[in-house]
Structure 1
Amino acid sequence: MQHRELSLGWLLAPLTVDTFLEDVWGTTHYHVKRDSPGYFDSLLDGSASIDELVGLLRPDLSLFGMVRGDDKKQPYLYRRPDGTFDAERVGKDFADGYTIVLESVQRYVRALAALLHSLEVELNYPAQVNAYITRPESRGFVCHYDDHDVLILQIRGSKLWHVYDGADVAPHRMSRHDPVDPSALPPPTDVHLGTGDLLYLPRGRVHAAEATTEVSVHLTLGLQAPTLLMLVTRALNALSYSDDRVHTQLPPRYLNAPEVRAGLSTLVRGVAEALEEPGTVAAGIDSLDDDLVRRGLSPPVGQALSNAVGIDGRSRVTKYQPLYSRVTDVPDGVTLHFAQLTVKAAADHADALRFVSDSTAPFRVCDLPGLSAAQQAELARSLIVSGFLVRLPD
């Protein structure tokens, strides 16, 4: 099944994606108020009760936590001596005002994984979903900030968010994990998030939240935008595979001899100049590209074998969505990369593979460029069996 409706546009509606990226992203918080309590029902496949949500992560206690203010309890506290999950202790601490934190919920719910990868495809940013369950009139975290942008989805109940405009934490302070000084904060802007509402917070925006008179369940979609530091690091790492200057050993006594230390700048300058080369930067970007490909949602193949039977030029197909892919040149041809899979082909298939990788709409097999009719059918069959293409009714 393709989750076409699970997209950034669907999350933000009626705010348009273009307006969000041009006027809101990285600049200000934004509240999408819907008055539509069932808006997010499709995300958790009906698993909206506390027991069901907690049960999602029972196989991996490392993704489970309990938080109340500055107090965060370690996951091992909720494992019995026989290794089973101690739900009774979870219930007791929850009743005492602790918020239940479930990390990386997309690992267990396919609809969330599909939504997440849809955002990754559109924004080119890695993302993660965490779930938070808070009892009535309780608060989980104290005033804090995130080092990444977040979209907050209110799944059940409501929550009051205190957003401190004008007190953003600078990126260099985030990297040092500087704490928030509550006494230095301005009066907050209060945002009441109802069921079905969404709140966007840019990175570094100080905030806190508290539940109202009912149990609150919300999801946070963390958007991990790569930074220039990450790009330079990847480019430097790529350079290390071809340029021995990167592997130059530091001279003996470089810590103790001032004249030796002064000479290090000359060594660094040469590597820095190499980093300015377009090919080096491109190699860093390719490394980030590979990360996004590997994060791809593996398509379910199901009936793929039977769907590949009888493929010809008139057959209609479309790329499985959401799916990020890229095509690279290799010595003996080209390779299509998607999810954790690859499809290799001869060099004469390059245009066809780039066509399918870039496609966003259905097409007919005969539209594949640069191939004979037999090659078109064979490539289409291969991509259907692998799950990359989905066959449509003729």
Structure 2
Amino acid sequence: MARSRAQLPIEVEGSATQPLGMPAADFLRDYWQKKPLLIRNAFPGFVSPIEPEDLAGLACEDTALSRLIQHDRGRDAWKVRHGPFREEEFPGLGDRDWTLLVQDVDKWDADIAALLPKFDFLPRWRIDDVMVSFAATGGSVGAHVDQYDVFLLQAQGHRRWQIDAGDAPPLHFRKDVEIKLLQRFNPTHDWILAPGDMLYLPPGVPHHGIAEDPCLTYSVGMRAPAAVELLGDFVDALAAETDDGPRYVDPDLAPAKDAHEIDGAAMQRVAAALDALRTDDPERLGDWFGRFITLYRSAGQAMPGDDARSRIEIEWDLQQGHVLHRHPWTRMAWRRAGRGARLYAAGQAHALPVRDARAIAAAPTLDGAAYAQLSDSGRDAVYDLLQGGHYHLVEPEDDPQ
């Protein structure tokens, strides 16, 4: 007999073969966007590939997105600063009540990016980034709520997590701080996570994490564009593709009863004019979304390089053991279109055979053998992307793989 959601466990044991503590299909059916879940030993024996010093160094980079949040417990006051920071700032922060957060660490560190295939039960284009936070003892960002799914993997040290899994938690925000903290927080569950433990939170679940000791936490966050963002971008795309031809027209106009009134018939004509922008074409809609989602919330972008070598030279290098590495900021996805497919890369679209689109989207690197397996159109697309800076060619001795 199927159990109700209230009867489902909120804490399970994971393993190396089942990081979710259950088959992915069961997790998606019972927990995804429905119910929080704590997975003990989701990553047994986990050892963080980066140290707090590495994170601090990254927060000093001009192009990294970083924040420093400090809490004055005596006054319950919060201070937020944005990077880049200077190295000499960190020793003066003390050993309590501060947190350093850095976004998109998976774009900077290949070992962090190597965690993402563990989440391949989700569409990769749904995954936004891996944010890494270091918290000194007592460090926190306060009780808050997110509007997207997140997996919180404990990487070093111990963090206490409290959540409110009630049916109607209070969601009013404090007005005396510059970050969106909850006025009231009534936890229903209280856990301490050790390295390898992972907490999944659906959107809208209030939560509060406090460092029990100096700790690192990885946040694998999802991409959840608001409906207004989707609508705004879609309308902009339609408007850019539509000429000035369709206009408001009223060939059925009758003598006005009141020259100053906007009557019901006028509003029907307005709706008809707007319908000219609306599309029921699934290909047009799919093409827009593929471009949109591979650009959405990207903090960086690839730029064309200075390599002016010809295609024949590039292909010769691949035959000699060079490898094409995808730029870490270049997001890719694909979809079926007609009898073929469309590959989307950082807002660009390429018409390809399904086999090519699937292979290119899934491969962070392409060696000579993988490149040779592509069709002519697939190789054309890869070369175009290389010219745009979305790949760079790595010599065999420099290839980390």
TM-score per shorter chain, which class? 0.5 to 0.7
Counterpart of 2:193? 193
Secondary structure at 1:222's aligned position in 2?
strand
Give TM-score scaled by structure 2 length.
Answer: 0.63
Counterpart of 1:373? none
Secondary structure at 1:219's aligned position in 2?
strand
Counterpart of 1:129? 130
1:232 aligns with 2:234: no
Distance 1:337 1:268, change over 3 A: same
What is the distance in 1 between the residues matched to 2:198 and 2:134? Answer: 16
Q: Aligned partner of 1:148: which letter?
A: Y
Preserved contact between residue 136 and residue 211 of structure 2 (Cα < 8 Å): yes
Secondary structure at 1:259's aligned position in 2?
coil
Spell out, residue by residue over 1:184-220, the C-alpha distance to the aligned partner (whole angstroms, 9 max, x if none): x4442113221011111111111101122x2111011
Q: Where do 1:215-364 residues align within 5 Å? A: 215-240=214-239, 241-242=241-242, 244=244, 259-260=261-262, 265-266=267-268, 268-270=270-272, 273-274=275-276, 277-279=279-281, 282-294=283-295, 305-306=315-316, 308-309=318-319, 324-326=332-334, 336-338=343-345, 353-359=353-359
Q: Where do 1:173-212 residues align within 5 Å? A: 180-182=182-184, 185-212=185-212
* Pairwise CA distance, 1:122: 1.8
Secondary structure at 1:233's aligned position in 2?
helix
What is the distance in 1 between the residues matched to 2:65 and 2:46? Answer: 26
Secondary structure at 2:25's aligned position in 1?
helix
1:142 aligns with 2:150: no
Give TM-score scaled by structure 1 length.
Answer: 0.64
* Pairwise CA distance, 1:124: 3.2
Preserved contact between residue 133 and residue 217 of structure 1 (Cα < 8 Å): yes
Counterpart of 2:112? 112
Spell out, residue by residue over 1:121-144, the C-alpha distance to the aligned partner (whole angstroms, 9 max, x if none): 8253250222211122x0412211
Preserved contact between residue 127 and residue 222 of structure 1 (Cα < 8 Å): yes
1:16 aligned to which of 18, 23, 32: 23
The unaligned stretches of length 5 or more in structure 1 are 1-8, 80-84, 249-256, 311-318, 344-349, 369-375, 389-394
Preserved contact between residue 35 and residue 202 of structure 2 (Cα < 8 Å): yes
Spell out, residue by residue over 1:71-128, the C-alpha distance to the aligned partner (whole angstroms, 9 max, x if none): 133236x75xxxxx1x333222242421122222233212334555886982532502
Secondary structure at 1:65's aligned position in 2?
strand
* Pairwise CA distance, 1:165: 1.0
What is the distance in 1 between the residues matched to 2:291 and 2:99? Answer: 36
Q: Aligned partner of 2:332: which letter?
A: Y
1:65 aligns with 2:28: no
1:52 aligned to which of 54, 73, 76: 54
Distance 1:56 1:260, change over 3 A: same
Distance 1:181 1:271, change over 3 A: farther
Q: Aligned partner of 1:112: which letter?
A: I
Preserved contact between residue 161 and residue 209 of structure 1 (Cα < 8 Å): yes
* Pairwise CA distance, 1:152: 0.7
User: Could you say what the CA RMSD is over the residues aligned between the two structures, in angstroms?
Assistant: 5.0
Secondary structure at 1:199's aligned position in 2?
strand
* Pairwise CA distance, 1:161: 0.5
What is the distance in 1 between the residues matched to 2:335 and 2:42? Answer: 43
* Pairwise CA distance, 1:162: 0.5
Preserved contact between residue 167 and residue 205 of structure 1 (Cα < 8 Å): no
Counterpart of 2:395? none
Q: Per chain length, whose mean CA-contact separation is higher, i.e. which structure has more relative contact order (CA < 8 Å, sep 6+)?
A: 1
Counterpart of 1:34? 41
What is the distance in 1 between the residues matched to 2:267 and 2:277? Answer: 15
Secondary structure at 1:124's aligned position in 2?
helix
Preserved contact between residue 291 and residue 348 of structure 2 (Cα < 8 Å): no
Spell out, residue by residue over 1:153-204, the C-alpha distance to the aligned partner (whole angstroms, 9 max, x if none): 111011111100125579999xxx986331xx44421132210111111111
Secondary structure at 2:134's aligned position in 1?
strand
Secondary structure at 2:100's aligned position in 1?
strand
What is the distance in 2 between the residues matched to 1:68 and 1:261? Answer: 57
The unaligned stretches of length 5 or more in structure 2 are 1-15, 72-76, 174-178, 249-258, 303-312, 393-401
Counterpart of 1:3? none
Spell out, residue by residue over 1:47-76, the C-alpha distance to the aligned partner (whole angstroms, 9 max, x if none): 22x212211231127622221345133236
Distance 1:221 1:264, change over 3 A: farther
Secondary structure at 2:45's aligned position in 1?
coil
Q: Aligned partner of 1:23: which letter?
A: D
* Pairwise CA distance, 1:289: 0.9
Preserved contact between residue 57 and residue 105 of structure 1 (Cα < 8 Å): no
What is the distance in 2 between the residues matched to 1:180 and 1:14? Answer: 31
* Pairwise CA distance, 1:259: 3.1
What is the distance in 1 between the residues matched to 2:69 and 2:205? Answer: 20
What is the distance in 1 between the residues matched to 2:169 and 2:260? Answer: 36
Distance 1:244 1:115, change over 3 A: farther
Preserved contact between residue 134 and residue 217 of structure 1 (Cα < 8 Å): yes
Q: Aligned partner of 1:208: which letter?
A: H
What is the distance in 1 between the residues matched to 2:90 and 2:79? Answer: 13
What is the distance in 1 between the residues matched to 2:217 and 2:247? Answer: 48
Preserved contact between residue 63 and residue 102 of structure 1 (Cα < 8 Å): yes
